[in-house]
């Protein structure tokens, strides 16, 4: 098989639906073979649990609060990542000062931060902080990389034609680093969502999807645990679609 | 234009050592084999590189440099690329049209020769007092080359051009300076 110059294989809606059906069927077979709902509930049991939860106000309140906490943390993380990257790119002193901190945050296990944060702040603030701490190094790293690998010939052209800092920033630099920022925003979103839910599981704030996942585990309600997890996944997908649309619209404005 | 005792090195590699020249002509073509320092000399003359030593006279303060690579902003159209460098030109599209380029055309959709002409239009629209053009006719056919050369010669400014072609120098009516 020739691997060179092959286009990316196309995924149609039919193929996606068939793939989803395949995995659900596999799940059904696995659950049926094990025969214990406590270990692996069937897709029908999970659907039933989810259906029951949909009618409860507490379910929607948990979703609302979780989205609020994680998205607030995510936005703070994106803003912090941009600001720190800007500081590092413009000042050697600030770069020497801030880069080791961001690298340390990036290397530290999220569980360590969650446990520390639980000692320092209210339960509700922990998921927000975790989302921000996870997103900041991703955005910072991508922006630093994009800035370092920008086309220096264009900078020389900008100098030769004396276009000034403002025009250089808007018309030369930002279009070059925007794709990296966009990629960082999308990657960071997935990380924020995962770390935020993990923080909720460990800190158990009121009205939180993570807390409900934890309680389902404690009370051995495996179908509910799966239902909450499914809700987390669906929400994560929906928010990713939303963020993609916002980024696409913003990129369109730049053009 | 007068250069006296010019020296320049990239690290240990000496490009010019005590280089001296004088030209009464306002249009000069620098010719010579690849790597002999044509681009370096243009960059020194327009102030993008600083010479190690030497004296340069007769170069105006505001210079336009057309680079060997087009160095256009691929995400913009021809008009925006030209308008970016000129605040004083009320009609940056005039020079583009004169060179046969549609101002609204996106740079990423252009051929090599079209991009070259946009880069030339940008240098001309900058309204500088001197033009430094590094292989400005690269990728252009003979007719286009002559047309561009006529426009450049019509500017009546100090113009220093790097080229490998005698025909281009002739089209510009330039004095030839050979580097070795």
> Which residues contact residue B88 at a Cβ distance below 8 angstroms, ignoring those fewer than 6 apart?
B127
Which pLDDT value is given to residue A8? Answer: 87
Give the Cα separation of A84 and A89 in Å (integer): 9
CB distance B64–A163 less than 8 Å?
Answer: no
Give the Cα separation of A170 and A234 in Å (integer): 37
Residue A5 lies in a domain: no
With 0-12 / 13-18 / 19 or more C-beta atoms within 10 angstroms meaning exposed / middle / buried, residue A251 is middle
> pLDDT band for position A249 (50/70/90)?
confident
Residue B12 lies in a domain: no
CB distance B85–A153 less than 8 Å?
Answer: no
Q: What is the DSSP string of A155-180?
A: HHHHHHTT-HHHHIIIIIIHHHHHHH
Residue A31 has pLDDT above 80, yes or no: yes
The CATH number of residue A220's host domain is 1.10.3720.10
| Position with higher pLDDT, A168 vs A3 | A168
Domain residues for A70?
60-254
Residue B67 has pLDDT above 70, yes or no: yes
> pLDDT band for position A253 (50/70/90)?
low
Please state the ipTM of this predicted complex.
Answer: 0.92
Which pLDDT value is given to residue B89? Answer: 66
Please, which residues 154-173 of chain B have a Cβ atom closer than 8 Å to chain A? none
Which pLDDT value is given to residue A53? Answer: 92
Q: Is B85 touching A (CB cutoff 8 A)? A: yes
CB distance B75–A154 less than 8 Å?
Answer: no
The backbone region for B104, taken as left when phi is positive above 0, alpha when psi lies in -120 to 50, beta otherwise, is: alpha
Which pLDDT value is given to residue A147? Answer: 96
Q: Choose the closest CB to A153 out of B69, B80, B85.
A: B69
- Structural domains in chain A (count): 1
Helices A174-203 & A110-120 angle (0-180, nearest 10) = 60
| Mean pLDDT on B30-58 | 92
The CATH number of residue B125's host domain is 3.40.50.300
Question: Which structure tokens are listed for B81?
Answer: 């690329």
Q: How many helices (H) and strands (E) does chain B have?
A: 6, 8
Three-state SS string over B61-92 comes to CCEEEECCCCCCCCCCEHHHHHHCCCCCCCCH
Which pLDDT value is given to residue B99? Answer: 94
Instruction: Chain A: give the shortest CA distance to residue B151, in Å.
Output: 20
**pLDDT tens digits, residue range B15-36?**
999 999 988 889 999 999 998 8
- Structural domains in chain B (count): 1
Question: Which structure tokens are listed for A238?
Answer: 């929906």
Residue B42 lies in a domain: yes
> pLDDT band for position B129 (50/70/90)?
very high
Instruction: Chain B: give the shortest CA distance to residue A171, in Å.
Output: 8
Residue A247 lies in a domain: yes
Residue B18 lies in a domain: no
Residue A162 lies in a domain: yes
Residue B145 lies in a domain: yes
CA nearest A174: which of A72, A64, A66, A255? A255
Q: Which residues of B touch A154 (CB under 8 A)?
A: 71, 73
Mean pLDDT of chain B: 92
**pLDDT tens digits, residue range A156-167?**
999 999 999 999
**pLDDT tens digits, residue range B68-116?**
999 999 999 999 999 999 876 678 899 999 999 999 999 999 999 999 9
Q: Choose the closest CB to A171 out of B69, B84, B122.
A: B84
Q: Is B105 touching A (CB cutoff 8 A)? A: no
Give the Cα separation of A77 and A96 in Å (integer): 20
Instruction: Chain A: give the shortest CA distance to residue B156, in Å.
Output: 20
Residue A168 lies in a domain: yes
CA nearest A190: which of A255, A146, A243? A243
Residue B20 lies in a domain: no
Domain residues for B153?
25-48+60-178
Which pLDDT value is given to residue B3? Answer: 93
Residue B108 lies in a domain: yes
Give the number of other Cβ atoms within 10 Å of residue A191's Cβ.
19
CA nearest B165: which of B130, B131, B138, B133? B138
Q: Which residues of A touch B46 (CB under 8 A)?
A: 160
| Mean pLDDT on A91-99 | 95
Closest chain B CA to residue A251: B75
**pLDDT tens digits, residue range A208-230?**
999 999 999 998 899 999 999 99
Residue A251 has pLDDT above 80, yes or no: no
Give the Cα separation of A216 and A224 in Å (integer): 6
User: Phi and psi at residue A74, in whole multiples of 5°?
Assistant: -60, -45
Residue B10 has pLDDT above 80, yes or no: yes
Give the Cα separation of B126 and B86 in Å (integer): 5
Which pLDDT value is given to residue A248? Answer: 84
Residue A83 lies in a domain: yes
First to last CA, chain A: 39
Q: Which residues of B touch A163 (CB under 8 A)?
A: 84-85
Question: Which structure tokens are listed for A85?
Answer: 């990257």
Q: Is B64 touching A (CB cutoff 8 A)? A: yes
Residue A130 lies in a domain: yes
Could you tell me how many CB contacts below 8 A there are between chain A and chain B? Answer: 36
CB distance A167–B84 less than 8 Å?
Answer: yes
Distances (CA, A) of A148 to A145, A164, A170, A187: 5, 20, 17, 20
| Mean pLDDT on A9-32 | 94
Which pLDDT value is given to residue B17? Answer: 92
């Amino acid at each position: 098989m020739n691997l060179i110059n092959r286009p990316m294989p196309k995924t149609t809606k039919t193929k996606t639906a068939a793939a989803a059906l395949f995995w659900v069927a596999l799940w059904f077979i696995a659950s049926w073979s094990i025969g214990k709902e406590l270990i692996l509930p069937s897709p029908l049991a999970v659907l039933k649990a989810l259906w029951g939860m949909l009618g409860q106000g507490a379910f929607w309140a948990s979703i609302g609060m979780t989205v609020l906490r994680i998205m607030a943390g995510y936005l703070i993380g994106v803003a912090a990542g941009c600001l720190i990257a800007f500081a590092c790119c413009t000042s050697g002193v600030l770069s020497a000062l801030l880069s080791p901190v961001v690298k340390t945050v990036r290397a530290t296990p999220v569980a360590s931060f969650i446990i520390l944060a639980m000692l320092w702040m209210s339960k509700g603030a922990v998921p927000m902080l975790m989302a921000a701490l996870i997103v900041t190094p991703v955005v910072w790293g991508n922006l630093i990389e994009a800035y370092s690998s920008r086309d220096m010939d264009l900078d020389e052209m900008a100098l030769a034609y004396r276009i000034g800092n403002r025009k250089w920033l808007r018309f030369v630099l930002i279009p070059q680093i925007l794709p990296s920022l966009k990629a960082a925003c999308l990657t960071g979103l997935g990380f924020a969502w995962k770390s935020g839910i993990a923080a909720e599981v460990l800190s158990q704030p009121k009205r939180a999807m993570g807390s409900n996942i934890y309680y389902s585990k404690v009370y051995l309600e495996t179908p509910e645990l799966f239902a909450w997890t499914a809700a987390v996944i669906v929400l994560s997908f929906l928010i990713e679609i939303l963020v993609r649309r916002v980024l696409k619209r913003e990129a369109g404005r730049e053009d | 234009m007068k250069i006296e005792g010019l020296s320049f090195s990239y690290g240990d590699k000496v490009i010019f050592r005590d280089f001296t020249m004088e030209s009464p002509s306002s249009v000069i073509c620098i010719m010579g084999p690849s790597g002999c320092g044509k681009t370096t000399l243009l960059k020194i003359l327009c102030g993008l590189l600083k010479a190690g030593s030497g004296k340069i006279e007769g170069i105006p303060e505001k210079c336009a440099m057309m680079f060997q690579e087009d160095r256009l902003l691929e995400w913009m159209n021809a008009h925006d690329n030209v308008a970016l460098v000129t605040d004083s030109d009320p009609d940056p599209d005039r020079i583009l049209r004169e060179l046969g380029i549609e101002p609204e055309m996106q740079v990423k959709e252009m051929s090599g020769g079209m991009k070259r002409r946009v880069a030339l239009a940008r240098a001309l629209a900058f309204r500088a007092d001197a033009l430094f053009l590094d292989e400005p006719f690269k990728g252009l056919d003979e007719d286009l080359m002559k047309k561009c050369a006529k426009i450049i010669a019509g500017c009546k400014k100090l113009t220093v051009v790097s080229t490998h072609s005698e025909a281009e120098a002739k089209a510009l009516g330039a004095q030839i300076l050979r580097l070795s």
